[in-house]
Amino acid sequence: MKYMLLMYAAETAGPNTPEEQQASQAAWMALLRDAQAAGVLESSGGLPGGSTTTVRVREGKTLTTDGPFAETHEQLGGYFLLNCENLDEAIAWAAKIPFAEYGSVEIRPLWTPES
């Protein structure tokens, strides 16, 4: 089963000092290595909020807005697409994501035509 892990945090949250940033970078690299070695990592990426465009179609007209749609303190900052045996395995991987320490990780089963 494929699961999308969506990572949310306040833009001001996270590592601040050079030492914290270095430790965080090491944690991210270890997570990526472990997920690849376990064969669960399908893809991963960051989603910087500053380059967001929201699209809506109203009465046949396409409307665009700069920035994320939802007004919230936490922003969607990235994702992991994992192929896990079950939700428990997806939860275990989500707990290893550094965002979980200062933000949140939302897990959604991925609907595909095969599922």
Is 15 among the domain residues?
yes
Is 114 among the domain residues?
no
Is 56 among the domain residues?
yes
Kindly report the CATH number assigned to the domain that includes residue 7: 3.30.70.1060
Domain count, the chain: 1
- Residue-wise pLDDT for 8-45, tens only, equals 887 778 788 899 999 989 999 999 999 999 999 999 99
Is 51 among the domain residues?
yes
Helical segments of the chain, H only: 18-38, 87-95, 99-102
- Residue-wise pLDDT for 57-101, tens only, equals 899 999 887 765 555 667 788 899 999 999 999 999 999 998 888
Is 57 among the domain residues?
yes
Answer left, alpha or beta for residue 22, where phi above 0 means left and psi between -120 and 50 means alpha.
Answer: alpha
Q: Give the domain extent around 90.
A: 2-109
